[in-house]
Amino acid sequence: MARKRKGQPIHGWLVVDKPEGVTSTQALAKVRWLLNAEKAGHGGTLDPLATGILPIALGEATKTVSYVMDGTKVYRFTLKWGERTTTDDREGPVIERSGVRPARERIDSALGAFLGDIQQVPPQFSAIKIDGERAYDMAREGETVELAARTVRIDRFELVSLPDGDHAEFEVQCGKGTYIRALARDLAVALGTVAHVTLLRRVRVGRFGLENAISLDDLAALEQGAAVERLLLPIETALDDIPALALTDAEAHRLKHGQTVTLLTRMDRERLKDVRDHVGGDGTALALCSGKPVGLVRVEGAEIRTVRLFNIS
């Protein structure tokens, strides 16, 4: 006999403002416990040092986590000039010093070289696996970790302020896999100095921003039902860039039973045209029935095939 899952079947997204000193896994576990949720996952890890947006997928929303992780992120961070650490943030010991403090004009002129697709070597203290072992575990044991450069995308990189001679505040909009600690490290090198991140805050992940977020403490102060009713965002919030395809009850029924739906009438062709005008490169669309998500489908000519169904009663 299959073991029954514990918790309530809650479906949707909850946006947490993660505090400093808490891992993403710990924040996820706290949310799941507070809501008594049957199933949960998060949409992109934040370092314990970092604060800010941690989207939590509940129930069937976990099937859309990859779309959130692939989405654009916005970070605000503060770096300290003149000190390089082992971790490229304030948690590691200082291993190099410099007396160079770049002026605003030099910083502004250097930022352009970091826009677009750039090559970035991740920090040694990162979660990347090498032969099955985490890089940060190897680095903690004193091993020299050689990580290959990877392509990341930087859409925007702005100097926000210079609060004093030793610190600078920035805002970055970037794509998947970008390490802000590495970006700060490389910017300092380009300016002829060294630096490390002292504060890091993620303010947006795709559609999820601070305007949607709640702290763990505030969440704990709410009753479970009230928290879900007030704060839960629909599953499709994570699929904002994917076109929607409206289905009839009969078409949705066929998809749910593993059958292909063929759309051939003139009205059907109009429906498909609207989808094809906006469909992604892989032909994926969000199937809806009476405004409720049915699942992710692939449009192949006049045929609609199931990619992932949402099991929502």
Comparison of pLDDT for 204 and 3, the residue scoring more = 204
pTM recorded for the entire structure: 0.88
* Alpha helices in the chain, H assignment, sequence order: 24-35, 65-69, 104-111, 135-140, 180-190, 216-221, 224-231, 249-256, 266-276
**Does position 17 have pLDDT exceeding 70, yes or no?**
yes
Q: Is 47 a catalytic residue?
A: yes
**Does position 242 have pLDDT exceeding 90, yes or no?**
no
Average pLDDT of 212-219? Answer: 94
Residues 121-136 have pLDDT tens digits of: 888 655 555 555 655 5
The pLDDT value recorded for residue 205 is: 95
How far, in Å, CA of 232 to CA of 214, rounded?
11
Share of the chain above pLDDT 70, in %: 88
The pLDDT value recorded for residue 120 is: 93
What 3 state SS string does 248-302 have? CHHHHHHHHCCCCEECCCHHHHHHHHHHHCCCCCCCEEEEEECCEEEEEEEEECC
Comparison of pLDDT for 134 and 164, the residue scoring more = 164
- Residues pairing with 58 in the sheet: 12, 40
Comparison of pLDDT for 225 and 298, the residue scoring more = 298
Catalytic residue, chosen from 17, 47, 88, 89, is 47
Q: How confident is the model at residue 138 (pLDDT cuts 50, 70, 90)?
A: low
The pLDDT value recorded for residue 144 is: 66
**Does position 2 have pLDDT exceeding 50, yes or no?**
no
SS3 14: strand
The pLDDT value recorded for residue 274 is: 67
What CATH homologous superfamily does 242-309 map to? Answer: PUA domain (2.30.130.10)
For the chain, what percentages of helix, strand and coil (3-state, to nearest 5) are there?
A: 30, 35, 35
Instruction: Judge whether 12-71+207-238 and 242-309 match in fold.
Output: no
The pLDDT value recorded for residue 64 is: 93
Least confident of 26-30, 45-49, 180-184, 309-313: 309-313
Residues 56-71 have pLDDT tens digits of: 999 999 999 998 988 8
Least confident of 11-20, 165-174, 183-192, 226-235: 226-235
How far, in Å, CA of 186 to CA of 92, rounded?
17
Residue range 12-71+207-238 forms a domain whose CATH class is: alpha beta
Residue with tokens 């677009």: 116
What element of type H or E holds 199?
A: strand 195-205
| CA-closest candidate to residue 92, choices 101, 102, 100, 80 | 80
The pLDDT value recorded for residue 135 is: 52
Residue with tokens 């609609």: 304
CA triple 22-26-29, angle to 5 deg? 150
Q: How confident is the model at residue 1 (pLDDT cuts 50, 70, 90)?
A: very low
Strand pairing report for 12-18 and 214-215: parallel
How far, in Å, CA of 298 to CA of 31, rounded?
33
Query: Is the separation of the CB atoms in 177 and 90 below 8 Å?
Result: no
Residues in the chain: 313
- The domain ranges of the chain are 12-71+207-238, 73-205, 242-309
Average pLDDT of 257-269? Answer: 79
Please give the CATH number for the structural domain made up of 73-205.
3.30.2350.10
